[in-house]
Amino acid sequence: MSEENMEEVMVLEAHIRRLQAEVAALQDSCKDLGFHLTGEARDAMLYLCGQKQEEEKEKLMSRLEEVLGELEEDLKWQTQMNAISLDRCTRSTLQSSGDEMVHQFCITGHCSALAFQVEFQLSEIKDGQTSKRRVSDLQVVMDASDLQRFSSFLSGVEENRDLLLFFRTLRTFSDRCNDRCRTFRHFQNKYPSVVSLPGGCRSEVMTLNHPELPGCVLSIQWSVQVSRGGEVTPNINLLTKIPLEALQLFPSLAVGGAAEAFQSLLRILGPEGTLEAVIRAISPTQDV
């Protein structure tokens, strides 16, 4: 055999080995899917693998379209109910042996303005007609600027591998942040000469400035606290910034007790009623 033919044979053998590796990978994938799929989905996989008759194709595809429509409607309903949208979900098989499988999941999505990425391993052990699942190696990454109050909770979620607690608390936390955003935007639109939002409507701070008292600033700090156990609590405080000159001109000005009085109003009127009262108290007459 010539040298040229030898090289050609080597190339063909390498190509055959690559094809064999691809076939083995596809077979593993089929085993993986066969372990989980049931009903119409399993029939579809059998058809694609050549184990279903051609005349069953039309009926099978029609039913799959119906199932897909039902799943899309269910996903839409779940998204509206939970306010959590999933943008992407990937799964890879790390282990497949007998009745035990280990999958690696990566899920990205958002809840209102809060984006998140969740990665975890799911171990599934089949025991007869039932299966047991266990989450491990949970990691949560969130993309937001005001999550320093959320970090302790995320650490607890990762340690306890509690996915349900994460998604439930994320929804509540997002709702409270949205309440703050709507309230800040409402008062900025209603009292534009007094209210400003230096960090935007999604920040924690709203400032109040009287046009005729430059340098005198009241700041509303509205944070949303999250405990390690998932309890979400709004925390609203009034901060004052009064120049020394103003204090000297008005020595009887009751600035020291402003924060305490603000907390008393909160207990009586609630957040919106209290903010309305404070803003109206310092607003120019024509704005009230």
Pair 123, 93: CB distance under 8 Å:
no
Smallest CA-to-CA distance from 259 within 235, 239, 281 is with 239
φ/ψ of 176, rounded to 5, equals -65, -35
Residue partners of 277: CB distance under 8 A and separation at least 6: 265, 269
Rounded average pLDDT per 10-residue block, the chain, 288 residues: 64 73 64 51 58 60 70 67 80 80 89 89 81 87 71 89 90 91 94 90 88 78 91 91 56 61 90 91 66
Which of 146, 173, 200 terminates a domain? The answer is 173
State pTM to two decimals: 0.69
62 within some domain: no
Q: What is the pLDDT of residues 21-44, one digit of tens each?
A: 776 666 565 555 444 555 555 666
Same domain, yes or no: 273 and 181: yes
DSSP assigned state of 56: G
Same domain, yes or no: 270 and 222: yes
Which of 173, 199, 224 terminates a domain? The answer is 173
Domain of residue 137, residue span? 83-173
Angle at 281 between CA 278 and CA 285, to 5 degrees: 140
Distance CA 117, CA 6 (A): 52
Residue the block writes with tokens 């899920």: 107
